[in-house]
A = this chain, B = another copy of it.
Amino acid sequence: MTRPEPLEVRVGVLGLGRIGRMHANLLGTGIPGARLAAVADADPDALEAVTDRFPVPGADDPSRLLARSDIDAVAICTPTSTHVDLIVAAAEAGKAILCEKPVSLDLEATDQAVAAAERAGVILQVGFNRRFDPGHATVAGAVANGEIGAPELVRISSRDPTPPPIDYLASSGGIFLDQTIHDLDMARFVTGSEVERLTAVGTVRVDPAIRDIGDYDTVAVTLQHANGCITQIDNSRRAVYGYDQRVEVLGSAGMAFSDNQAVHGAVVRTDAGGRVAPLPWFFLERYMPSYRRQWEAFLSAYRGENTVAVGGEDARAALVLALAAAESVRTGHPVGIPAIPADETSSTA
């Protein structure tokens, strides 16, 4: 009955797991210029939980949603293994696409997905949402606008409060493709420079079951960028004090640091010292502003006001680095990254 206003982009959400429900809620209430227009999930309970709250049609299959003519764009929030097929199908249906990361665990498949979107002339934005975090974006901006000069050293910490279920980990592609990939993208983003050489070390400290599946839970990666900058990344699957997310750049003319913020600003001081609030527990608390701003960037690209902020080539580049990190930790030695033609790199501007 309700007709979307002409200026609102009608978005369908594919997959209503944790991240899909988050996108549905955002689109359902708070993103100027977009509206939630349909949802799809094979699980009827998941479907009803959303369609009960919002007056939108639900489909038990993504293809039914993609077939609708009253949908302009889709958010792909299904498991990673389905991403490429859905990108291809959505592109062929002429829908603009926001796809959660990673696009694929496979380089060739990633290339197919990117090519499909290009062929169809539709937007393909990859869900590296952290680029849109106001703090991290301030760091990237301070490099891009020259305020801190040429980037020389980067430090990125990214630690989850607690490891996901071992079943999830077993199909995740490993810590570098599942967790570090965000930080590899961040390193490219804040430096504006590709990586030429990478060294990774890793260990298992959190859960022996992680070793049993051939993965790591505690890793450190060193990147050497084409512009001479050095990036250090550390990741852990366990930070009992909360979700720890920091990015900093030392430049020739200054430094920029995106620090954590506690959940509130109170301090209690006694003769025993001071106590302060904990960090946010996990990404939905921490990164909500980034998801909001990610949609704003998507809409801006949809309207032709800007190019896509994080495109298929960014997905590819981060995947190349994640695969290289896995190789480095396996061999115990540095890994060179094949040059990527400059015209394919994204810009931080």
Interface of A with B (CB < 8 Å)? 2, 25, 28-30, 35, 52-55, 133-136, 138-139, 142, 147-148, 150, 152-153, 155, 157, 159, 199, 201, 203, 205-206, 218-220, 222, 224, 228, 230, 232, 234, 236, 238-242, 244, 250, 252-271, 273-279, 289, 332-334
Contacts and interface: CB of A to CB of B under 8 A. Distances in A.
A334 B201 CA distance: 10
A152 B274 contact: no
A270 B250 contact: no
Nearest to A234: B153
A50 to B, nearest CB: 10
A153 to B, nearest CB: 5
A230 B216 CA distance: 13
Given A138-B266, A270-B147, A236 B250 contact: yes
Contacts of A152: 205, 218, 236, 238
Given A240-B254, A256-B267, A258-B264, 18 more contacts: A133-B264, A135-B264, A136-B266, A138-B268, A139-B268, A147-B270, A152-B218, A159-B250, A230-B234, A232-B234, A236-B250, A240-B252, A241-B271, A257-B268, A257-B269, A258-B265, A274-B277, A332-B334
Contact of A252 (B205, B256, B334): B205
Nearest to A258: B266
A238 B150 CA distance: 12
Nearest to A150: B205
A222 B221 CA distance: 9
This chain: how many copies in the complex? 4
Nearest to A203: B228
B232 A220 contact: yes
B258 A270 contact: no
B148 A268 contact: yes
A47 to B, nearest CB: 13
Contacts of A241: 254-255, 269-271, 274
Contacts of A255: 239, 241, 244, 268-269
Quick one: which of A136, A268, A332 has the most chain B CB within 10 A? A268
B265 A276 contact: no
A105 B54 CA distance: 38
**A136, A139, A219, A239 pick with most chain B CB within 10 angstroms:** A239
Contacts of A257: 266-269
Contacts of A220: 153, 222, 230, 232
A139 B266 contact: yes
A2 B236 contact: no
Contact of A267 (B157, B259, B332): B259
A233 to B, nearest CB: 9
24 contacts: A53-B55, A134-B266, A135-B265, A135-B266, A138-B264, A152-B218, A152-B236, A155-B157, A155-B232, A199-B201, A201-B222, A201-B230, A220-B232, A230-B234, A232-B232, A236-B250, A253-B270, A255-B268, A258-B265, A261-B262, A264-B289, A267-B276, A274-B275, A274-B277
